[in-house]
């Protein structure tokens, strides 16, 4: 609800060009300076505004690394306590107010003991949402950016070949799949596949600048996940742990058999 409210608030502004004469915090400060930043960076690359958007996006994502790293760590810890959460739901399955209140109390106790916050997973998205809305409006409401070209696209128009939206969706899917790898329980499959489809749907209809932002941003997320939350390393560690547990169980059964055999011999 908070994210939807933020979208409504930020998008409820005019469509007139933003200039140095624009007023208000959102138009005169955020959008205008966002457009200036893109233009300033682009000037270092011969006025290529597509490269300017890429560089600005990478800078923003680098600044958000602490937030996204915390989010990934929080999600991992949430995954580890999922079995306990399910046990609580089964134990307090009755729908009467008293039982549901007890369920909430037990869940909060479990969250506190595990040191996790179920709502922190939305933090990076809440931080990024004003960014990509500002980017969209900065490009579409700044004349020099809305008419700029990058490779095969006009930054103010949708990608005619859908290449950037598809790349944005694939990077989103790749990061979602990697985040679910190496966990005791897989995450929500609906979210895993719905988010990439939503990204594609949004970027197909809007400007190529936004599609470029999502493609670069989610590509950065894939690299960040590989560096800080390497799923292949986690899978290897999980398999090693399972192998050790199986070996320990085999040794335990062998010991039990020997103990039973020894006791029978004593009786004889």
DSSP letter at 153 equals: E
Q: Per residue in 42-98, pLDDT tens?
A: 888 888 888 988 998 898 888 878 777 777 777 777 777 777 877 877 777 777 777
pLDDT for position 187 = 46
Name the pLDDT band for 167 (thresholds 50, 70, 90).
very high
Lowest mean pLDDT of 6-20, 67-81, 233-247, name the range.
6-20
Q: Per residue in 124-137, pLDDT tens?
A: 667 777 777 787 78
pLDDT for position 170 = 92
pLDDT for position 98 = 77
d(CA 110, CA 105): 9
d(CA 47, CA 44): 7
Helices (H) and strands (E) in the chain, counts: 12, 2
d(CA 130, CA 61): 13
In this structure, the number of other CB atoms found within 10 A of the CB of residue 180 comes to: 18
* 216's tokens: 């670069």
* 124's tokens: 């990076």
**Which residues 6+ apart lie within 8 Å of 19 measured at CB?**
32
Residue with tokens 């008419």: 147
Residue 130 belongs to what H/E stretch? Answer: helix 123-140
d(CA 85, CA 91): 10
């Amino acid at each position: 609800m908070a994210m939807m409210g933020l979208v409504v608030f930020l998008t409820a502004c005019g469509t007139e060009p933003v200039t140095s004469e624009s007023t208000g915090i959102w138009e005169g400060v955020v959008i205008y300076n966002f457009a200036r930043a893109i233009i300033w960076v682009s000037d270092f690359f011969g006025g290529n505004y597509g490269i300017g958007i890429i560089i600005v996006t990478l800078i923003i994502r680098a600044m958000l690394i602490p937030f996204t790293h915390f989010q990934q760590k929080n999600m991992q810890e949430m995954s580890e306590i999922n079995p306990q959460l399910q046990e609580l739901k089964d134990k307090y399955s009755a729908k009467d107010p008293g039982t549901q209140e007890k369920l909430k109390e037990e869940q909060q106790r479990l969250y506190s003991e595990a040191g996790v916050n179920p709502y922190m997973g939305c933090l990076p998205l809440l931080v990024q949402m004003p960014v990509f809305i500002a980017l969209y409006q900065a490009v579409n409401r700044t004349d020099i950016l809305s008419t700029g070209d990058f490779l095969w696209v006009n930054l103010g128009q949708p990608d005619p070949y859908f290449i950037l939206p598809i790349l944005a969706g694939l990077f989103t899917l790749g990061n979602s799949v990697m985040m679910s790898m190496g966990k005791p329980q897989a995450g929500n499959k609906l979210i895993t596949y719905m988010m990439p489809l939503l990204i594609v749907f949004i970027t197909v209809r809007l400007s190529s600048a936004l599609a470029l932002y999502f493609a670069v941003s989610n590509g950065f997320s894939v690299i960040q996940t590989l560096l800080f939350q390497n799923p292949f390393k986690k899978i290897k560690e999980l398999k090693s742990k399972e192998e050790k547990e199986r070996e320990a169980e085999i040794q335990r059964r062998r010991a039990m058999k020997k103990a039973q055999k020894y006791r029978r011999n004593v009786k004889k």
